[in-house]
Structure 1
Amino acid sequence: MSTTDAKGEQLQVWNVTEPYLNLHCGLGEGPYYETATHSLRFVDIRERRVHTVDLTADHTSRSTLVTTVQLDTPVTVTADIEGVNPRDRIAIGAKYGVAVLDRRSGEYEYVARFGDADVTAGEQGKGKDNERLRSNDGNIDPHGRFWLGTMTDIGLDLQPEGSLFLIDAAAGTTRTIRHPVTIPNSVGWSPDNRTLYFTDSTARTIHAYDYDVTSGAVSNERPFYVHDGPGEPDGFRVDVEGNLWQAVYGESRVLKITAQGKLVGEIRLPTRCITCPQFVGTELFITSAGMEPGEGTDEEVELSGALFRVDVSVKGLDPFLFKLGS
C-alpha cells in the first residue's frame, strides 16, 4: 500500500492491526534478536523484567513460549557478549550502568557504572551513583563498546539531566559523550560503519556523526532527520540498504527514513506509544508502552504494551557484540 504525506510525497505504508504477543508491558522496550536460540528478547523497564519469546514455533498461545527474568533494578536494553553463550549470560543496561546478567539465577554484576565516568585510572571507583537517573536505550559499536544513555528515573519529574556515555569495558573506561540530554535514545550505524546515528527524543532529532572505523572516534555532528509531529522519535534500527526504521512514541507508527534523511514509508500500528523495532530476517518486531484507561481508545489501551510483527521485505544489520575485559 502507498499514500502521500503532507508534502505530497509518496510513502510506502504497512498496516498492522493485531499484536504478535500481548503481555501488557508497562514500558516495553529494547527488542533484540538472539540468533543462537532464534528468540526475541525485550524488556519491560517499568516492571523491571527481561522477556524472551521463542520464535521457533508459531504456537496459538504465544505467551506459553515466553520466559521472564524478574530483576530488582530497571533494565532497559540488552546485548550479547563476545565469547559468551547468551543462554547463560548477557549484558544489560541497568540503573547505575552496564551489568552482566546470569539468566539462570537472575543475579547481575556491574562491569561499569555511570558514576565513574571521566575519572582518571587512579580514581576509578570514586564516582557516586545518581539516584535520580537510570539507563535508557543504547547499542554496541563496531569496537565492542557500549553506547548507553541515562535519563530521569520513572516517577520523578523529568529534567534535562541525562547523558550519553561510551563504555569500554575492555579498557575499563567510561566517557561522557553528550550532556545534558533529557531522553537519549537509540544509537546505530550505517552499513559501512562510517556514520553513527543518535536519537535525541525531546529534541525530536536524529543526529548523525562521522565514525572512524579504525579508532572509533566520532566527529562532525549534524542533524540527520528532524521530526515534524506531536510524537517523539524513540528507538530505531538500520537495514542493510541503509534505511532507518524509527519508532515514534505517541503517533502509532514506525517511520522508514532513507540514508539521505528522507521519509519514504511508515508502519501504522493500533496503539500509540510505539517504542522500538528489531529485525528478525525481513520482519520487524515492534515494542510498545502501556497506556492508562482514558488515554486513548479502548483498542489503543488494550493493545498498549504489546509486541507487534510485520514483514517489510528487507533485512536488518547484525548487531555487534559487547567486549568484556580479561
Structure 2
Amino acid sequence: MARMRQLSTPNPDELKEPVGCIFPILDGASQNEIKQVLFGSKFGIGKLDFSKSEWEYVILYSECPELSTDRAYKLRSNDGNVSPDGKYIYVGLMSDFPFDLEPIGCLLRVDLLAHKIELVWNCLLIPNAIHWDESDQKTMYVTDSLNFIIWKCPGGDLLKRDELIDVKNSNNQSFESPEPDGSAIWFSKDGKHSGFLFITVWSTSKVQMFDLTNGKLLKEFILPEQTPRVSCCCFVGKDLFVTTANAEINDAVRTNTDKNGGCIYRIPNVLDGNVPLESTKRQPLH
C-alpha cells in the first residue's frame, strides 16, 4: 500500500467536499467484502476506512504540475474509472458549483503507487463517464457531456479520438440540451455485437442503449417525466439501476418543491442470458 502523506489540504468554509466517483477496494482475503474505498472528492483522491469511519486525502489535484493552485481551487471531481490493469485512476474534473462553468475542466491520470498525477486531456467543460474496451483492454470511451459526444480513443491514445456517438443527434426532436451523463457498459457474448453502452441523458428522462461497434441507437428506456435529470446508471445482475438529480439543492434551507428528483430507479431484466454480478469499477492498485 502506498504510504499516507500528511497533506496540507485546503478546506475553505464556503466550499463543500462533494464525492464525484467511488472506487471500491475488495478485501484481500474474502474478495467479496468492501472495507475501504477510494473516491474523487473536491480537492483530490480520498480514502475511506469503514471500520474507523474516517477518511483522508491520499493525493491532491493541486500536485499536478499542469494545474495552477487557483485553477485547482475552482474544480471538483465529476466521474472516473480505473484502468484495466488497476494501475491508474482516471478522473474528470469540472468547475465546482459556486463558480461559473468554464472550459477549465480536464481529465487526470492518477498513479497512487508512484504518487503522480498527469493531465491527459485539457480544456473540457464537463468530462464524464470513462470505459475501456474488453477486447484489447486499451481502447477508451470518454463522455464529453456539453459537446454531447462519446469519444472512442483507439489504443487509449486520447489525442487520436474518433466521434463514436452524437447524443444530441439522437435526441434532436424536443430537447434543447440532451447531455450524456453517467453510463454503464456491457460486453456482449453473443458474437454479434462487441458491446453496448447504456447512457443516462440529462434533461430527457431517458436511458439510451447504443451499439459500441457503430454507435447506433438500439433502444430507449423511458423514466417518469417528473424526473428528467437522469444522472448515472449501473448494473446489478441483469437489472439497471438509474440515479436522478434534484432540481436544486440548498442544505441551509430546504425550500425545494421538486419531490421526485433524487429518486433511484430499477429497470429489471435489461440484459439477457447469464450475467455475473460484478462491479463496473475495477480494483485499483493502492
TM-score over 0.5 for the pair: yes
**Are 2:265 and 1:313 aligned?**
no
Question: Are the aligned partners of 1:238 and 1:317 in contact in 2 as well (CA < 8 Å)?
Answer: no
Q: Secondary structure at the match of 2:98?
A: coil
Structure 1: unaligned runs, 5 residues or longer = 1-71, 120-125, 294-299
Pair 1:79 & 2:23 matched: yes
Shift of 1:197: 0.4
Report the counterpart of residue 284 of structure 2 in structure 1.
Answer: 322
Three-state SS of the structure 2 residue aligned to 1:323 is coil
- Kindly indicate whether the alpha-carbon contact (under 8 Å) linking 1:276 and 1:288 is maintained by their aligned counterparts in 2: yes
Stretch moving more, 225-234 or 127-136: 127-136
Q: CA deviation digits over 1:229-276, x for unaligned, max 9? A: 331000111112210001101010011000120001111111100001
What is the CA–CA distance in structure 2 between the aligned matches of 1:83 and 1:289, rounded to whole Å? Answer: 31
**Pairing 1:31-70 to 2, within 5 Å after superposition:** none
Offset, 1:292: 5.2
1:286 to 242, 266, 270: 242
Structure-1 residue corresponding to 2:11: none
Aligned 1:295-314 pairs, distance under 5 A: 301-311=258-268, 312-314=270-272
Instruction: Tell me the residue number matched to 2:93.
Output: 150
**Deviation of the 1:97 alpha carbon:** 1.4
Larger strand percent = 1
C-alpha contact 1:82 1:323 (8 A) present in aligned 2: no
Question: Which residue does 1:61 correspond to in 2?
Answer: none
Could you list the runs of 5+ residues in structure 2 that have no partner in the other structure?
1-15, 189-194, 250-256
* Cα separation, 2, equivalents of 1:190 and 1:317: 16
The one-letter code matched in structure 1 to 2:163 is P
1:92 is aligned, of 28, 39, 59, to 39
1:221 to 134, 152, 161: 161
Could you tell me how far apart the structure 1 residues matched to 2:183 and 2:237 are?
A: 16
Conserved 8 A contact 2:24-2:34 = no
Structure 1 residue corresponding to 2:232, chosen from 272, 276, 280: 276
Cα distance between partner residues in 2 of 1:170 and 1:267: 41
Among 221, 224, 227, the residue aligned to 1:267: 221
Aligned partner of residue 42 in structure 2, secondary structure = coil
Measured on the aligned residues, the alpha-carbon RMSD in Å equals: 2.4
Give the counterpart letter for 2:223 in structure 1.
Answer: L
Whichever residue aligns with residue 264 of structure 2, its letter is L
Q: Does 1:137 align with 2:79?
A: yes
CA distance in 1, matches of 2:68, 2:115: 14
* CA-CA distance at 1:143 after TM superposition: 2.1
- Pairs aligned (count): 237
**Secondary structure, aligned partner of 2:146:** coil
The alpha carbon displacement at 1:319 in A equals 2.9
Cα distance in 2 for residues equivalent to 1:318 and 1:147: 14
CA distance in 1, matches of 2:248, 2:43: 28
Quote how far apart the aligned CAs of 1:133 are. 1.1
* TM-score using structure 1 length: 0.67
Inter-partner Cα distance in structure 2 for 1:206 and 1:143: 23
Distance 1:98 1:289 in 2: 23
Which digits, 9 at most, give the CA deviation of each residue in 1:264-309, with x for residues without a partner?
Answer: 111111110000110111111111100259xxxxxx9322101001
Q: Report percent identity of matched pairs.
A: 30
